[in-house]
A and B are shown apart, each in its own frame.
Chain A
């Protein structure tokens, strides 16, 4: 069974940085598009960023473009989300999720359990 485990969340001050990691197991990691989705407390799901299987293609939500960077290390079966210039409104549970294709953007069939990011002074 595919497993996705996020880590790296925590409390950070406004303007600070944090790097999230998502480690995957039981799959050929490089064959799948990976995405980050967040959920603020009591709110709905918000897509954050996506990266192709090779890591060449990346896309970002307008709310994080220029501040967040998605990357992956296929040798470590891990996808990352570098978050800079953090704001209070970035506070959320961050989920990583796997798509079904290496290059196409389709449904998300496996999700991690999430890691909580709190931006506060």
Chain B
């Protein structure tokens, strides 16, 4: 089955840039979506189709996808960005949705 691997944690100082990777076999050929989840809350979509932002999501959130790695970038990190982040794809070879292992972003 298809696997998406993320680093368990990323720490970043306020105002700096956080980069969260999502590794998968030829993930660049798939559309990758990203969700933010804060404690006790449901996930919220922050990036879809690799790099598109839903309305209401700050421009500080951006995404890219190429080769075997997709990346979510948060520029000018704020305290409110502290959360868990998950990447997500549809694997057409297995007809399964797949979520990444998740990354906890800590703002120092």
Contact = CB atoms under 8 A, between A and B. Distances in A.
Contact of B96 (A45, A47, A113): A47
Given A106-B31, A107-B33, A109-B45, A45 B99 contact: yes
Given A35-B97, A61-B96, A106-B31, A44 B102 contact: yes
A105 B48 CA distance: 13
Given A44-B86, A45-B43, A61-B96, A108 B33 contact: yes
Interface in A13-41: 35, 37
B49 to A, nearest CB: 7
Nearest to A113: B42
Given A45-B99, A46-B99, A107 B42 contact: no
A81 interface: no
B101 to A, nearest CB: 6
Please classify the interface of chain B as helix (H, G, I), strand (E, B), loop, or mixed, using the class held by over half of its residues: strand
Which of B43, B45, B97 has the most chain A CB atoms inside 10 A of its CB? B97
Contacts of B1: 62
Nearest to A57: B95
Contacts of A105: 90, 97
A61 B97 CA distance: 8
A94 to B, nearest CB: 11
A109 B54 contact: yes
A59 B43 contact: no
A111 interface: yes
Contacts of A95: 42-43
A108 B35 CA distance: 9
Interface string B51-84: 0001000000000000000000000000000001
Given A106-B31, A107-B88, A108-B88, A59 B95 contact: yes
Interface of B: 1, 31, 33, 35, 37, 41-45, 48-49, 54, 84, 86, 88, 90, 95-102
Given A97-B43, A107-B45, 7 more contacts: A37-B43, A44-B100, A44-B102, A45-B88, A106-B90, A108-B88, A111-B43
